[in-house]
């Protein structure tokens, strides 16, 4: 697989480390009433779809940026690559 890095261009997926579902960006509020339940869902439960999947990849052998890759889990085709920083800010995270 080739990941088209937004800053560096096309890079071999072997340069990256795979973390998992993009929902890992959305860490729950630890002070919420139902924090226990939500951390269980955050830490352990996954949608695991067959089809388009947004996921976190870390460019360990490159610029060490975190990317959000949109990839089809049935064909391995990658349709979009974003900086995870940008995605997190769009979701209301400050850093």
Partner 1 sequence: MRYSAFRIFREGLTGNKGWKPVWREPEPKSEYDIVIVGAGGHGLATAYYLAKEFGLTNVAVLEKGWLGSGNIGRNTTIIRSNYLLPGNEPFYEFSLKLWEGLEQDFNYNAMVSQRSILNLFHTDAQRDAFVRRGNAMILAGADAELADAAQLRRELPFLDFDNARFPIKGGLYQRRGGTVRHDAVAWGYARGADARGVDIIQNCEVTGFDIENGTCRGVQTTRGAIRAKKVAVCVAGSSSRVMEKAGMRLPIESHVLQAFVTEGLKPVLPGVITFGAGHFYVSQSDKGGLVFGGDIDGYNSYAQRGNLPVVEDVAEGGMAIMPMIGRARLLRSWGGIMDMSMDGSPFIDKTHIGGLYFNGGWCYGGFKATPASGFCYAHLLARDTPHPTATQMRLDRFMTGNMIDEKGQGNQPNLH
Using CB under 8 A as the criterion, which residues of the chain lie in contact with partner 1 when the complex forms?
1, 12-14, 18-21, 40-41, 43-50, 53, 55, 71, 73-76
Helical (H) or strand (E) element with 38? helix 35-44
Two structure tokens written together for 89: 């800010």
Q: Which is nearer to partner 1, 35 or 89 (CB)?
A: 35
In the three-class reduction of DSSP (H, G, I as helix; E, B as strand; rest coil), residue 53 is classed as strand
Token duo for residue 2:
């080739």
Distance, CA of 69 to CA of 86 (rounded, Å): 12
Shortest Å, Cβ 42 to partner 1:
10
Q: How far is the CB of 87 from partner 1 (least distance, A)?
A: 18
**Nearest distance from C-beta of residue 17 to partner 1, angstroms:** 8
């Amino acid at each position: 697989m080739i990941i088209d890095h937004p800053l560096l261009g096309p890079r071999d997926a072997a340069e990256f480390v795979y973390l998992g579902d993009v929902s890992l960006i959305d860490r729950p509020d630890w002070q919420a009433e139902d924090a226990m339940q939500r951390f269980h869902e955050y830490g352990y439960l996954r949608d695991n779809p067959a089809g388009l999947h947004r996921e976190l990849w870390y460019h360990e052998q490159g610029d060490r940026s975190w990317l959000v890759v949109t990839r089809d889990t049935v064909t391995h085709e990658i349709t979009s690559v974003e900086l995870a920083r940008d995605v997190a800010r769009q979701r209301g995270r400050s850093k």
